[in-house]
Amino acid sequence: MGNVPTKESRSRSSTFSSNSGIQPPSNGDMTGFITRTSVPRRYATSSAMNQSNSNNNLGGLLSNNTSSLLDFKKSKRQEEKDRIQELHYLNLLVKYNENVDGGYLAPFGTYKSNLDFNTDIVRKLIINRELSPFYTPLQDFDESWSENELLIILNQLPLHAIDIAYSDLEENLEDDIDNHKIHKSANYYKRQEQKLKLKNLLIKIKNLQKDEELKFMIEKEKAKSSDNTNVEISSNDLLLALYQNPLECPICFLYYPANLNISRCCLQPICTECFVQIKRLDPHPPHDETSNNQNNADKKFLPHTLISEAASCPYCASPEFGVTYDTPDNIFTGIGSNVKPGDYKIVKDNEFDDEDVDEEEEEDDREEDVLDDEEAVITSSDSASSSPLKSNPEPESITKQSSSIISITKRRRRRSSLAANAPGVITIDMIRPDWEQRLTSARNKLERKAATATAIHASNLLLNGDEDSSRSRSNSNIMMTNSNRNSANSHLVQLQTVEDRMIEEALRLSIIDEEERKKKVEAEEEAKSKK
C-alpha cells in the first residue's frame, strides 16, 4: 500500500493461456474448411450483443447513433473472435478419417495447455509432409513383443487422450480474485463470460471427440467381423510398418513411429506434439532480474525494451529452433495420396517403386536444394484433398476445385545441420506467426499502464495539497509546459496542467488503440483478399 489510492478496478491479464492468441485462419488455402457448413454458429449471449442485434436494421444503422454503431462493431468483432476460437478447437479434434501416413492432423492430447499454435498451418504442413503427422503414441514398448501382441495393443489405441486432456473441465473455473473484492472490475463480467464460453466450447469439443472415438471403434469392430474393412482406417500392415521399431521421443518419453521430426541444428528427434508445444517466452523485459530483488518495483523499464526471443533448441540450445521431416520409406497413404490407409500392404522396395513411383523429374524449387542424389518423386494421380475436415468421407465431392498435386520427395536422411531459413526447415515461429503482434500489444499495454501510473502519481502529488520545495521541483516539467500562463495561483495552474496532460495522454492512448485496430483490420482484409 503506497501512495496510490485504492482502486478496485485493476485489470488482470487473462489466465487462460489456451484462450489467448488464437489466430484467424491464415488464408484461403483451406477453403473447404472455412466455408464448411457443418460448423454451427454460436451467438454470444451478452446483453450488448442482443441489443445491437435488435438494432441491426437499416434504420438503426443509418441513424446517427454512433455509440450503438460502435457497440455493433464491437459485438461483430467479438462474434468473429468467438468463431475463430471455435474453428481453432474444432481443428484440434482427432478424426480417424484424416489420416496421413498412418498419423493424424491433430495432437493426441498429451498436453492440456499451450495449444495456441496455428492449427491451419500445422495441418497444411502435415498434409504436405513437411512435418511428421500427429501419431498416436505408445505408452510402452518392448522389443520382445510378437507382431500379434503389438497389433493387439495398436488396435486398442484411442484417437485421443480425452480423459487426460479434458480432466480440468470438471473442476470449477479458476477462482477469480474479484469475487472477493468489494467492487468488481469492469473487466470482470466480460472475463467470466469468456471463461464460460470457453468452458462450454470445450465441453462440446470433448463430446465431439467422444463421438469420433465411438465411430472409430464401431468401424474397427465391423472390420473385425467381416472382410469389409474401412479403407480410411490404417491397415494392420501399415500399423506394423510404422510401429515395429518405434523411437522414444526424448521429451514426452512416448514411443512413436521412427519418422519423427529432426532438429535442424543437432539432428535430435522430436515428435510433433512436443514440437508444437515449444514457443517463445512471453514478452518480458531484457535481463529479467531475480524474483526478490528489492529494487525491482522501483525500476522502470521502458515499454519498447520488452523482448521476446525465438525459442532455442531444447537439446543443444542453438537459437531459432526448427526441424525438418523425412517421410518414411515406402509409406505414402491417406490425405494427399491415392493409397488409402486401409489398403496399405507391406511391399518390398523394388516392387513399390515399379508400381507407384513416377520417375518423371518435377520442377520443384522448394525441395531442389536439399535433394540428395537418391531422389524419387511420387506424384499422386488423384487430386489431393486440401479440405480434410469435410463431413463426408469422399474427398472428390468437395475438392474438385483444388487440384493441387502434392509431390513427395524422399531424400536420404540428413546428416548435417541446416540454417533456420534453409528450405524445408519448419521453425517454431512459422506455426505461431502471431508472436510479433503479441509483442507489439504487450508493449502498448505496458505503455498505457505506465502512462496511467504517471498520471495518477502526478495528480496525487497535487491533490495532497501541501507544497514543499522538493515536490514542486519534481513537478517542474509539468510547470514548464504551461509557463506562459502567468497565473497568480500556481496551484490552480498545476491542476489545470495535470488535467491537460491527462487529456493529452488519453488522446495519445486512443490513437494507439485506433492504430492497433486498423492494423488488425488491414491484416484481416489482406487475408480475405488472398482467398
Partner 1 sequence: MATLPKRIIKETERLVSDPVPGITASPSDDNLRYFEVTIDGPSLSPYANGKFQLELYLPDEYPMCAPKVRFLTKIYHPNIDKLGRICLDVLKDNWSPALQIRTILLSIQALLGAPNPDDPLANDVAQEWKQDEQKAISVAKEWTEKYAVSKD
Partner 2 sequence: MSKVPRNFKLLEELEKGEKGLGAESISYGLANQDDITMTYWNGTILGPPHSNHENRIYSLTIICDETYPDKPPKVRFTTKINLPCVDSEGHVIISNFETLKNWKRSYTMETVLLELRKSMALATNKKLPQPVENSTY
Among 305, 311, 307, CA closest to 283 = 307
Does position 253 interact with partner 1 (CB under 8 A)? The reply is yes
Q: Is the Cα dihedral 512, 118, 320, 130 positive or negative?
A: negative
Cβ proximity to partner 1: between 127 and 138 the closer is 138
Give me 118's grid cell: 496455428
Does position 349 interact with partner 2 (CB under 8 A)? The reply is no
> What is the torsion angle, in degrees rounded to the nearest 10, for the CA atoms of residue 278, residue 283, residue 285 and residue 286?
40
Cβ proximity to partner 1: between 167 and 464 the closer is 167
- Binders of partner 2 among residues 7 to 26 (CB under 8 A) are 7-8, 10
Among 83, 438, 160, 133, CA closest to 279 = 438
Query: CB neighbours of 44 closer than 8 A, spacing ≥ 6?
Result: 75, 78, 79, 82, 193, 197
Least distance from C-beta 248 to partner 1, angstroms?
9
- What's the DSSP call for residue 376? E
Q: How far is CA 23 from CA 89, 153, 194, 448, in A?
A: 11, 37, 16, 24
Give me 65's grid cell: 447513433
* Binding residue for partner 2, selected from 58, 62, 182, 488, defined by CB under 8 A: 182
Cβ proximity to partner 1: between 126 and 254 the closer is 254
For residue 206, count other CB atoms closer than 10 A to its CB.
18
Cβ proximity to partner 1: between 121 and 278 the closer is 278
Q: Are residues 309 and 469 in contact, defined by beta-carbon separation less than 8 angstroms?
A: no
Does position 291 interact with partner 2 (CB under 8 A)? The reply is yes
Least distance from C-beta 13 to partner 2, angstroms?
10
Least distance from C-beta 85 to partner 2, angstroms?
22
> What is the torsion angle, in degrees rounded to the nearest 10, for the CA atoms of residue 486, residue 488, residue 490 and residue 492?
-100
Does position 295 interact with partner 2 (CB under 8 A)? The reply is no
Binder of residue 379, out of partner 2, partner 1, none (CB less than 5 to 8 A by kind): none
Does position 167 interact with partner 1 (CB under 8 A)? The reply is yes
Cβ proximity to partner 1: between 159 and 231 the closer is 159
Binder of residue 506, out of partner 1, partner 2, none (CB less than 5 to 8 A by kind): none
Point out which span in 175-183, 300-308, 370-378, 482-490 binds partner 2 (CB under 8 A): 175-183
Q: Are residues 447 and 303 in contact, defined by beta-carbon separation less than 8 angstroms?
A: yes
Does position 181 interact with partner 2 (CB under 8 A)? The reply is yes
* Binding residue for partner 1, selected from 11, 20, 45, 113, defined by CB under 8 A: 113
Q: How far is CA 119 from CA 87, 161, 199, 357, 431, in A?
A: 9, 18, 20, 31, 8
Q: Are residues 458 and 452 in contact, defined by beta-carbon separation less than 8 angstroms?
A: no
Least distance from C-beta 241 to partner 1, angstroms?
24
Does position 449 interact with partner 2 (CB under 8 A)? The reply is no
Kindly write out the interface string for residues 378-407 of this chain, putting x where it contacts partner 1 by CB under 8 A and - elsewhere: ------------------------------
Size of the site for partner 1 (CB under 8 A): 29
Does position 296 interact with partner 1 (CB under 8 A)? The reply is no
Least distance from C-beta 314 to partner 1, angstroms?
4
Point out which span in 182-190, 283-291, 450-458, 489-497 binds partner 1 (CB under 8 A): 283-291
Does position 371 interact with partner 1 (CB under 8 A)? The reply is no
Does position 149 interact with partner 2 (CB under 8 A)? The reply is no
Least distance from C-beta 292 to partner 2, angstroms?
6
Among 31, 25, 26, 27, CA closest to 401 = 31
* Binding residue for partner 2, selected from 140, 143, 171, 227, defined by CB under 8 A: 171
Least distance from C-beta 6 to partner 2, angstroms?
5
Q: How far is CA 99 from CA 126, 355, 389, 509, in A?
A: 10, 22, 11, 49
- What's the DSSP call for residue 409? E
Total residues found in the chain within this entry: 531
Burial of 528 (0-12, 13-18, 19+ CB in 10 A): exposed
Cβ proximity to partner 1: between 271 and 339 the closer is 271
* Binding residue for partner 1, selected from 81, 237, 315, 454, defined by CB under 8 A: 315
Point out which span in 179-187, 292-300, 335-343, 444-452 binds partner 1 (CB under 8 A): 292-300
- Binders of partner 1 among residues 428 to 457 (CB under 8 A) are none
Binder of residue 22, out of partner 1, partner 2, none (CB less than 5 to 8 A by kind): none
CA 455, CA 178: separation in Å to the nearest integer?
25
Amino acid identity for residue 223 in this structure: A
Q: What percent of the chain is helix, strand and coil (3-state, nearest 5)?
A: 45, 5, 50
Does position 296 interact with partner 2 (CB under 8 A)? The reply is yes
For residue 310, count other CB atoms closer than 10 A to its CB.
16
CA 115, CA 109: separation in Å to the nearest integer?
10
Binder of residue 60, out of partner 1, partner 2, none (CB less than 5 to 8 A by kind): none
Cβ proximity to partner 1: between 159 and 451 the closer is 159
- What's the DSSP call for residue 104? B
Point out which span in 86-94, 128-136, 209-217, 245-253 binds partner 1 (CB under 8 A): 245-253
Binding site for partner 2 (CB under 8 A): 1, 4, 6-8, 10, 168, 171, 174-175, 177, 180-182, 291-292, 296-297
Binding site for partner 1 (CB under 8 A): 110-114, 139, 163-164, 167, 250-254, 268, 274, 277-278, 281, 288, 290-294, 312, 314-315, 317
